[in-house]
A and B are shown apart, each in its own frame.
Chain A
Amino acid sequence: MAFPSRARARSEVGFGSDRRPAGASRAARLEDAQKYLFVLPALVLFATFVLLPLASAVYYSFTVWDGLRTPEWVGWWNYVRAWNDSVHVRSYLNVGVYIAGTLVVEVAFGLLMAVLLASNRRGFGFMRGLFFSPMVLSMVAAGLLWTYVYDYRRGLLNEGLRAVGLGGWAHPWLSDGATAMLAVIVVSGWKYAGFYMIIFLAALRRIPQSLYEAAMLDGATPLQRFAHVTLPLLRETTIVAVLLCVTGGFAAFDLFFTMTNGGPFNATEIPTTWIVKQAFDRHNMGYGAALTVVMTVVVGVVSLAYLLATRRRHAVEY
C-alpha cells in the first residue's frame, strides 16, 4: 500500500497550509485568534509553573546565592566548578552504573517474569499480583524497609546468613563502597521489576498465537520462539521500557536518600542527591541550580539521542 506523501497528507487534512487564498476573510483570522485563545490557559499555566521556574533556575545558576543574601552574578563560575567537582563528575558515573543495573534487574528481569508468568495456568495470576505488589509501596517506605533488611547487626540478611552458618559472609552492605550501589540496585529491581512485567505482559497478550503455532510447526524450540517471535514483536515496548528506565534512573532520589544518602564516601552519590546536598544542606542555591541545569541538559540529550536512534531504525513514517 502506498502512503500519501507527508505534505499531501497535511494539506488533505487541512493542517499547515502555508498559503492563504488572496483576500482571506476576517472570519478566518478570527478563527485563528480563537485557536490561540483556547490554547492560552494551558500556555499561561505552562509558562507559570514550568518555563518561569526553569528560567529562574538558569538565572540563579549564574549566581552565588545562599537563599538569603542578594544573589551575586558570577558568570560561568558555577559551571566551571561543576566541571572540576570530582564528586559531581563521579555522580554521573554512579548513575550510569545504577541505570545499567536497573536495566538488568528491572527491565530484563521484568521481561523474563512476564514471559514465565504469561500463562493463564492456576496460581499464575496470584504470582503476578505478588510480583507486582512492591509497586504499591512508596519509595521512601521501601528504602527504609530495606535499610533494616541490610542492617549489619540485626538485619534480616545478615541474621539469615548467621542462621545458616554463613556468619562470615555477614557484611555492612550499605556501609561498604563496594556493595552499597549493588544493594540499592537490588531494591530498585525488587520495586520496579513488577511494573515492567505488567508492561511486557500487556504487549505479550497482543502477539497473535498463530505466529507461535507456525513457529512450532517449523520445529522452533521454546528458546528459538522467544528469540525469533517474542523479542522482535516486543521491540517497541522494550524501547519505551528502556527509555522509562533510563530517564527514571536519572530522576532517582528517594531510594538513595533513605538508604545511603550518597554514601559511603560518595560511592552512591548520584546527581540528584548531590544537587540536594549542595542547594539545601550547604546552602549553595546558585551552584545547586547550575547542577540542575547540567542535569536537565544531560537527560534531555540522552533521551533525544535514544529516541532519534530508535526512531531511525524502527519508526514507520507516513
Chain B
Amino acid sequence: MHAPPLRTLRHLATALLATLLIGAVAAQNVVEISVAHTMTGGAHRDAFDRIIEAFHEAHPTIRIRQIPQDMEIYQDTGLIAMLQSNDPPDIWFQWGGDLVRRDAELGFALDLTDYLAQDGWGDSFLDASWSEGTGTMVGDRIFMMPYAFDVTTVLWYNTDIFAEHGLSEPETWDEFLDIVRTLRAAGVTPIILGNQQFWPLGNWAGHITARVVGMDLFDKALSLEVPFNQPAFEEAFQRFAELAEAQAFNRDLAGLGASESMAAFFQGAGAMHPIGSWLISNAFSSAPDGFSYDAFNTPVIAGGAGDPQSIIGLATGFEVSSRSAHVDEAITFLRFFTSFDHQVAWAEAGRFSPIEGAMAAADIDVHNKALAELFLDANELVPPPDTGYPVEIADIFYQGAALVAGGLRSPAAALAWIDEQLALVR
C-alpha cells in the first residue's frame, strides 16, 4: 500500500478548511426563529408544516424551529416555563383575552400595532380581528396576531335522530326545551356531554348567562365588580335548572371526559352535543361513515338582556416576544403565514382564517362554512369565561353552573356558593 502523496493531503486539508469556513459563514447568516404552539398533529399541523417548508424556500436565511407541546401541558406549565426562561420563544401561540392582557402587562408580548400598520398588512384581516372582544388587543394596541377564530359552543345535532323524531332546529329556548322533552320521552338522551373538567358545559353556561344578563353585567360579575347572587343571574341559572328537570343530559355528565363524550355523540349515544367548532375536524377522523350532523346556535332566550343572536367564541393566534433578538425575521414569517394563498390552505385544513376572503376562496367543509357565516353575522361575541377572564374565576363559575345542571343545587344556592368561593380569591 502506498502512502498518499503530500500534495493530495494538502488539497484535502484545503478543501476541508474551505468547507468548514463556508459552513461557519453560512451558519452565521442563518437566523433561527423559534415558534411554540400546541399543534401536535392533525390536518392543520400538516398545513403549518407545508407553509414553513415554503417559507424556508422563499427565505433561505431564516429557519423556523417549532416547539410543539400538548395543549394542556402548554396551558398549565409549558408556556409559563418558556416565558420565564432566559431563552423564550420568538413567537408563541396564545388564546385571545385575559392571557394576551397578561402577556402585554408583564411585557412579554411585543406591541404589534405599528408592524400591522405597515403596507396594509393589518387591513388584510377581517375587521372582527381587531377588538378587545376577540381578545387580540389591550386598549387600542394590538398584542396578538390572530390566526384563527373559534366558536366555542354551538349545539351539534345528529340529523338522523332529529329526522326520526320529526324534529327541526329550534329558534327559541322554549322550542329547544320541547325538543329535549320529546327526545327524553322517546328514550333518547337529548344532550350528551362530558363535563368532568367543567369547561364544556361551562362555556355554554357562559353563553346562556351572557344572553340572559347582558354582556355588561356578565363582564362585571366575572371581573368581580358585582356579586353573582342576584336576580338576573338566578334567571340565567334557571335555564340550567330547566335542563336538569327535563333530564336533558346523559347520566354520566359529571364524570365523562370531553373527548369521550364527543366519541359517544358520534356513536349516536345522544341527539345533541354542545361543543365548539373543533368537532368538525374530529368528525373527519372519528365519526363512523354515514354519520350525519349539523349545528344551531344557542336558541333565543326570551326577555334576555343580551344580544339574542350573540355567539360565544374567541380568536387564537401568535404573539411575538418583546425580548426576541430577531423581531424583523419573526414579523417576516408571520406576514408570510398570513398571506392570502397560505391562508386559503390553512382554511382548507379546517381552521377559520381571519384573512379577508380566505374562507370564501377555500374549498371547505359545509359545516366550517356555516360556522364562519355564523361568526361573521353575529353582532356580539361573548368571550369564553376561561379565556376572557382569570381561569380561577371562570372555573368557579363553571362549577356553579354544573351544580345546577346536575340537579344538585338550586340556582340561588349555586350562586351563593359561587360568591362564597370567589370571596376566597385574592
Identify whether the interface residues of A are mostly helix, strand, loop, or mixed: loop
**What is the minimal beta-carbon distance from B98 to any residue of chain A, in angstroms?**
11
Segment touching A, from B247-255, B293-301, B323-331, B368-376: B247-255
Number of A-B residue pairs with CB-CB distance less than 8 Å in the complex they form: 67
In the complex, how many angstroms separate the beta carbon of B355 from the nearest chain A beta carbon? Answer: 31
Knowing A69-B106, A261-B196, A265-B408 are in contact, say whether A175-B256 is a contact too (CB < 8 A): yes
In the complex, A280 has a CB within 8 A of chain B: yes
A280 / chain B contacts, CB cutoff of 8 Å: 76-77
Measured CB to CB, the closest approach of chain B to A188, in angstroms, equals 17
Distance to closest chain B CB from A286 (angstroms): 9
Q: Does any Cβ of A come within 8 Å of B402's Cβ?
A: yes
List residues of chain B with CB within 8 A of the CB of A152: 250-252, 256
* Chain A residue nearest to B253 in the complex (CB): A175
Q: Interface size class for chain B?
A: 20 to 34
CA distance A185 to B253 in the complex (A): 21
Q: Nearest residue in B to A266 (C-beta to C-beta)? A: B399
Question: Is B83 in contact with A68, judged by CB distance below 8 angstroms?
Answer: yes
Q: How far is the CB of A44 from chain B (nearest CB, A)?
A: 25
- Which one, A19-27, A77-85, A116-124, is touching chain B? A77-85
Q: What distance in Å separates the Cβ of A3 from its nearest Cβ neighbour in chain B?
A: 55
- Cβ of B362 under 8 Å from chain A: no
Shortest C-beta distance, A145 to chain B (Å), equals: 15
Taking CB atoms and an 8 Å cut-off, the chain B residues in 279-296 that contact chain A are none
Q: A251-284, CB under 8 A of B: which get 1 and which 0?
A: 0000000001101110000000000000011111
Given the known interface contacts A68-B84, A81-B424, A172-B252, the answer about A265 and B392 at a Cβ–Cβ threshold of 8 Å is no
How far, in angstroms, from A176 to B392 measured CA to CA in the complex?
Answer: 24
Is the pair A282, B251 in contact by a Cβ cutoff of 8 Å? no
Contact between chains at A281 and B395 (CB < 8 Å)? yes
A64 at interface by CB-CB < 8 Å: yes
Q: Which of B84, B392, B424, B426 is the one whose CB lies under 8 Å from A283?
A: B392
A74 to B424, CA, bound (A): 13
B50 at the interface (CB under 8 A from A): no
Nearest Cβ on chain A to B401's Cβ, whole angstroms: 12
State whether the Cβ of B161 lies closer than 8 Å to any Cβ in chain A: no
- A283 B391 Cβ-Cβ under 8 A: yes
User: When the two chains form the complex, which single residue of A174, A283, A284 contacts B252, counting CB atoms closer than 8 Å?
Assistant: A174
Question: B84 — which chain A residues lie within 8 A by C-beta?
Answer: 67-68
From residue 21 to 42 of chain B, which have CB atoms closer than 8 A to chain A? none
B124 in the interface (beta carbon within 8 A): no
Nearest CB of chain B from residue A154's CB, rounded to whole Å: 9
**Which one of B251, B391, B424 lies within 8 Å of A172 (CB-CB)?**
B251
- Is B254 in contact with A263, judged by CB distance below 8 angstroms? yes
Q: Are B252 and A175 in contact (CB under 8 A)?
A: yes
Which residues from 148 to 188 on chain A have a C-beta closer than 8 Å to any C-beta of chain B? Answer: 152-153, 172, 174-177, 180
- Asked if B264 CB lies within 8 Å of chain A CBs, one says yes
Asked if B197 is at the interface of the complex by the 8 Å CB criterion, the answer is yes
Question: Are B255 and A174 in contact, CB atoms less than 8 angstroms apart?
Answer: yes
Q: Evaluate contact between A84 and B424: CB separation under 8 angstroms.
A: yes
| Chain B residues within an 8 Å CB radius of A180 | 255
Asked whether any CB of chain A lies closer than 8 Å to the CB of B403, the reply is yes
Complex-state Cα separation, A64 to B426, whole angstroms:
8
| Assembly CA distance A172 to B102 (angstroms) | 40
In the complex, are the beta carbons of B255 and A153 less than 8 A apart? no
Question: In this complex, what residue of A is CB-closest to B394?
Answer: A282
C-beta contact mask, B338-371 vs A, less than 8 Å → 1, else 0?
0000000000000000000000000000000000
User: CB-CB contacts of B75-93 with A at 8 A, as 1s and 0s?
Assistant: 0110010011000000000
A153 and B76 in contact, given A265-B399, A283-B391 (Cβ under 8 angstroms):
no
Partner of B391, one of A67, A261, A281: A281
Whether B254 lies near A282 (C-beta < 8 A) is no
Q: Tell yes or no: B269 within 8 A of A by CB.
A: yes
Contact A68 B106 (CB under 8 A): yes
- A residues 219-261 near B (Cβ < 8 Å) are 260-261
Q: List 28 A-B contacts (CB under 8 A).
A: A67-B77, A67-B80, A68-B80, A68-B83, A68-B106, A74-B426, A81-B424, A152-B251, A153-B264, A153-B269, A174-B252, A174-B255, A175-B251, A175-B253, A175-B256, A176-B254, A180-B255, A261-B196, A261-B197, A264-B254, A265-B399, A265-B403, A265-B406, A265-B408, A280-B77, A281-B395, A282-B392, A283-B391
Q: Chain A residues in contact with chain B, CB under 8 A?
A: 64, 67-69, 74, 77, 81, 84-85, 152-153, 172, 174-177, 180, 260-261, 263-265, 280-284
- Residues of B near any A CB (own CB < 8 A): 76-77, 80, 83-84, 102, 106, 196-197, 250-256, 264, 269, 391-392, 395, 399, 402-403, 406, 408, 424, 426
Q: Which 10 A-B pairs have the closest CB atoms?
A: A175-B255, A264-B254, A172-B252, A175-B252, A282-B392, A152-B252, A174-B255, A280-B76, A67-B80, A172-B251
Contacts beyond the supplied A68-B84, A68-B102: 14 A-B pairs with Cβ under 8 Å:
A77-B426, A81-B424, A174-B255, A175-B252, A175-B256, A177-B254, A261-B197, A263-B254, A264-B254, A265-B402, A265-B408, A281-B76, A282-B395, A283-B392
